[in-house]
Amino acid sequence: MKDNYNKNIDTDTLLNLYKLYDEHRHSILWFLEDLDAKSYQEYLQKYPGSSNERSQFIAVCGFFELSGIIVKHKLIDLNIYFDMFNPTPFWLKAEPIVKGMRKKRPYIYENFESLNDKRLSWAKKRSKKK
């Protein structure tokens, strides 16, 4: 009974995360294709104030921050999560910006970074199995 319960929770969590991800598809595409800042300073210059681009950045980083919390607290199985989502290309683009943000907010997006680290370990273990 417990195994089915956990599978149901994983399935519900995955579907809810995918729905949230899909609702921000425009932001995700912008992030991957158009975000072009190699530092926090450049980010602030190119995307000032409360610009649409800054909202899109926050939406994507917020999604992966939430995902990182869910994974950290084992509310979804890692294999299930990483079969669907890959935070690495997003983290690679966000990292230099986030590192600059951390001068004022030292813990911002720490679960997003941790999620990426877990993904890299997961991918390494997976490739060794092949």
The mean pLDDT of 76-94, rounded to a whole number, is 97
pLDDT 10s digits, 17-32: 999 999 999 999 999 9
Nearest to 71 by CA among 60, 61, 82, 62: 82
Q: Say what the pLDDT of residue 130 is.
A: 66
Total domains in the fold of the chain = 1
**Burial category of 33 from C-beta neighbours within 10 Å (exposed 0-12, middle 13-18, buried 19 and up):** exposed
pLDDT 10s digits, 89-102: 999 999 999 999 99
Q: Residue 80 is part of which domain span?
A: 2-129
Tokens of residue 43, six digits: 């980010």
